[in-house]
Structure 1
Amino acid sequence: MGKKLKAYRFPLILLASIIVGSIIGLIFGEQAGVVKPLGDLFINLLFMIVVPLVFFSISSAVANMDSMKRLGKIMSSMLAVFIITGIIASITMLVAVLLFPVGSGVTIPLETIVDTEVLSLSDQLVNTFTVPDFVNLFSRKHMLALIVFSVLLGIATGLTGEVGKPFARFLESGSEIFMKVIQLVMYYAPIGLGAYFAALIGDFGSELIGDYAQAFILYYPVAFLYFAVGFTLYAFIAGGKKGVVRFWKNILAPAATALGTGSSFATLPINLQAAKQIGVPKDIRETVLPLGATIHMDGSCLSSILKIAFVFGVFNMDFTGIGTFVTAIAISLMAGVVMSGIPGGGFIGEMVIVTLYGLPIQALPMISAIGVVVDPPATMVNATGDTVASMIVARQLEGKDWMEKVNVE
């Protein structure tokens, strides 16, 4: 019993710090903002680590892979899992909005969107997957380009053979070192997250009830239900009862970080550590999780359906029919799996909603505002969904006894 409590000690400390921070925010209101720099420090430390961590983890995983065939199996299995879970998330929210309609009776001032430069699809793809200069790779704004570069470097290292082995060892060493940096930063997590939640609740606590109360009241329970029930089911599929136990023993820290920071990339370092403790093989977790932080967003699939249902309600449009539902699911899947990896992809996804349904351009700020309201739990589902997805990929590639092959403390 004592050993089990010890395993949960840090997650419980983290949860307690968030609760204390939230209470401080409620009591002191905007005055709680004085501790915000302590929270910003934690978030900045995580963002500071993300770029080198993604580079070393992906490039070393690919470089040290037994064969390119193994890489292909991981990628194909990963994409299948991402798409299937995205569809399940979309259907979950679709059922919720049909049972509890949103947007009816809501009065929102129509705003005019400032004209923005719209890039062609070809230019957008070029800017997404490549950068014009090597130094641009060192920015988290170009994460997909960094991933492409890391995969290419890993493949080239592996194909070089004996000559490339010293460099492969360097990449692996770099990956392990940055994982250790994460462990050091996490010692500060209780203070950082507690301070961040205090400032967050102090600033926005009173604004959570307003024009978007319906969306807030529906999305939060559905997101947490999908997180608790859906991910438990996924973990069971991946590893049975042991998979469920290991998932919940290690997922609280990533979930709390995602909820507090609103960033899948800020959560990535802690997610990689959690997947390691769960027992996900190195090459799988270091391929699936960085890519998942970019192109796997179950929480965004949930919110896309909510946005569509919301604007249908606001404009008194009929949100019924198989064709309407299938289109809504397709759009949410596109927004959650495809466009999430494109810079400004969320905005593009919202533009698709407006144009496909022939809505007035004034609908865009309405949809964007919903994104702001539901962002914390959406990010939590996005980030933790990557962890459980890596478990399912491990189950598909390593067999049902994959958890027995790795010793986890």
Structure 2
Amino acid sequence: MGFIKNYSSVLWLLGGIIAGSIAGLILGSRVTVIQPVGDIFLNLLFTAIIPLVFFAISNAIAQVDAGRKLGRILGTMSLVFLSTLLIAAFLTIVCVWIFPIHQQVILSHDAGDISNPGNVGQQLTRLLTVDEFYTLLSRKNMLPFIIFSVIVGFAAMRAGAAGAGFRNFLYSGNEVMKQVLHLIMKAGPIGLGAYFACQVGTLGPKLFGTYAHSMAIYYGFGIVYFLVGFSGYAFIAGGVRGVKLFWKNNIIPTLTAVGTGSSIATIPANLEAAPRMGVPNDISSVVIPLGATLHKDGSSISSIVKMAVVFGMYGKGFDNPQTIMLALGVTVIASIVEGGIPNGGYVGELLVMSVYGFPVEALPPLMIIGTLVDPLATILNATGDNVAAMLTTRFMKGHLQTE
């Protein structure tokens, strides 16, 4: 019962998608009469995302004590987080090249021109900035908006006592917008069900082939990364002994991640397991709590799979070097941003749409994939923090702590 309760939102979403698929198969194109239901849900989600991202990011930074120094632990930890995220993303890209997601379903040709985006300087300017404040409030400019939110957060932090009122405003706004998103997502099963019914009704059962292929890639590569990749990291941290320590003590965190469906809820199990893995308390007490929100190897893998799927659906090639470099950058940003926001995967998906110029119809496929990969993604996100703590210990102290 506890498992069902923790995954109730995912199960309801899947239930809505399945019901919508059945309706689409039975009714065919006639099911498009309910398309406004899906459109209303997406519009509500789009309008809530911008203020949610602003308050979540600005508040998180504004509440940091300006007098604290990052220190050596945070610096080493950041490099470890970034390295594993990029390794996971790049290896997923290689996997997608080997097992390409075929262009079976062309949803629309109304996608951004990502093949000829101009010179590098022009592309960076468009990607990172806008020339009018009001354009920041468009979902099409998510990355400039995130950068602006970060700047506001730092400014509020640096303002000290004079900025106390504004920091309280950011905190309250963050709490309110969390509840707004929770309320909207209660309509998720109906909204996504209606959308999926229309897609199946108009495109037919061939739509399932693309999703099945993407799931096979994610779960196949994700399991290999969990077993082989994490073993490799543990070996770097402590040789054969490190591998044994990691797997011997990683069982309870893994089961906790599966049972709770939450990286945050796995923190206590990780903190208990880390000392047995050779990680001293001064490192685990910093790396594991921060890793729960900032370190998302599972989300990194799913970001690449989602991009490959939508590129295929819109007839775009996912093999251009410039596209790949941008994908790696988007993956890192999305993985970090997702951690502090409820249903944060949807923010990452909006960022993908914004950067590559895909239309609104691209969001539901991204959301559906994110829902389907959630169990394994949670395992990778949560237990990856333990192996990151082991690596941080190795690079800071030269070896794992002896028992």
Give the TM-score category using the shorter length: 0.5 to 0.7
Give, in angstroms, the shift of residue 341 of structure 1: 3.1
Give, in angstroms, the shift of residue 210 of structure 1: 6.6
Distance 1:272 1:210, change over 3 A: farther
Equivalence for 1:252: 251
Distance 1:211 1:311 in 2: 10
Contact 2:107 2:314 in 1 (8 A): no
Give, in angstroms, the shift of residue 357 of structure 1: 1.4
Give, in angstroms, the shift of residue 251 of structure 1: 0.7
1:142-179 deviation digits (Å, cap 9, x = unpaired): 9xxxxxxxxxxxxxxxxxxxxxxxxxxxxxxxxxxxxx
Distance 2:321 2:401 in 1: 41
1:356 equivalent in alignment to 2:360: no
> What secondary structure is seen at the aligned counterpart in 1 of 2:401?
helix
Distance 1:345 1:131 in 2: 23
Distance 1:106 1:253, change over 3 A: farther
Equivalence for 1:88: 87
Distance 1:42 1:403, change over 3 A: farther
1:10-68 deviation digits (Å, cap 9, x = unpaired): xxxxxxxxxxxxxxxxxxxxxxxxxx25754899xxxxxxxxxxxxxxxxxxxxxxxx7
1:306-339 deviation digits (Å, cap 9, x = unpaired): 0110001111112122111111111111111344
Contact 1:297 1:382 in 2 (8 A): yes
Distance 2:246 2:368 in 1: 33
Give, in angstroms, the shift of residue 106 of structure 1: 3.9
> What secondary structure is seen at the aligned counterpart in 1 of 2:373?
helix
Which residues of 2 match residues 155-166 of structure 1 at below 5 A? none
Equivalence for 2:291: 292
1:374 equivalent in alignment to 2:370: no
Distance 2:299 2:322 in 1: 21
> What secondary structure is seen at the aligned counterpart in 2 of 1:372?
helix
Task: State the TM-score, normalizing by the size of structure 1.
Answer: 0.60
Contact 1:103 1:309 in 2 (8 A): no
> What secondary structure is seen at the aligned counterpart in 2 of 1:227?
helix
Contact 1:83 1:337 in 2 (8 A): no
Equivalence for 1:215: 214
Alignment RMSD (CA, Å): 3.6
Equivalence for 2:328: 329
Distance 1:259 1:102, change over 3 A: farther
Q: AA paired with 2:369?
A: I
Give, in angstroms, the shift of residue 261 of structure 1: 2.8
Contact 1:82 1:389 in 2 (8 A): yes
Give, in angstroms, the shift of residue 346 of structure 1: 2.2
| Larger CA deviation: 246-255 vs 271-280 | 271-280
Task: State the TM-score, normalizing by the size of structure 2.
Answer: 0.60
Give, in angstroms, the shift of residue 345 of structure 1: 3.7
Q: AA paired with 1:385?
A: G
Contact 1:83 1:333 in 2 (8 A): yes
Distance 1:103 1:335, change over 3 A: farther
Contact 2:279 2:390 in 1 (8 A): yes
Q: AA paired with 1:74?
A: I
Distance 1:336 1:389 in 2: 15
> What secondary structure is seen at the aligned counterpart in 2 of 1:359?
coil
1:81-131 deviation digits (Å, cap 9, x = unpaired): 000101000011101111111253147799xxxxx9969544576499965
Distance 1:42 1:382 in 2: 16
| Paired-residue identity, % | 41
Contact 1:239 1:395 in 2 (8 A): yes
Contact 2:85 2:332 in 1 (8 A): yes
Distance 1:304 1:41 in 2: 23
Distance 1:270 1:79 in 2: 22
1:376-397 deviation digits (Å, cap 9, x = unpaired): 1111111111100000111111
1:188-215 deviation digits (Å, cap 9, x = unpaired): xxxxxxxxxxxxxxxxxxxxx7762111
1:234-268 deviation digits (Å, cap 9, x = unpaired): 00111111111110001122122223432111211
Equivalence for 2:40: none
What 5-or-longer segments of structure 2 have no aligned partner? 9-67, 110-136, 158-166, 180-207
Equivalence for 1:403: 401
Contact 1:260 1:376 in 2 (8 A): no
1:237 equivalent in alignment to 2:236: yes
Contact 1:82 1:337 in 2 (8 A): no
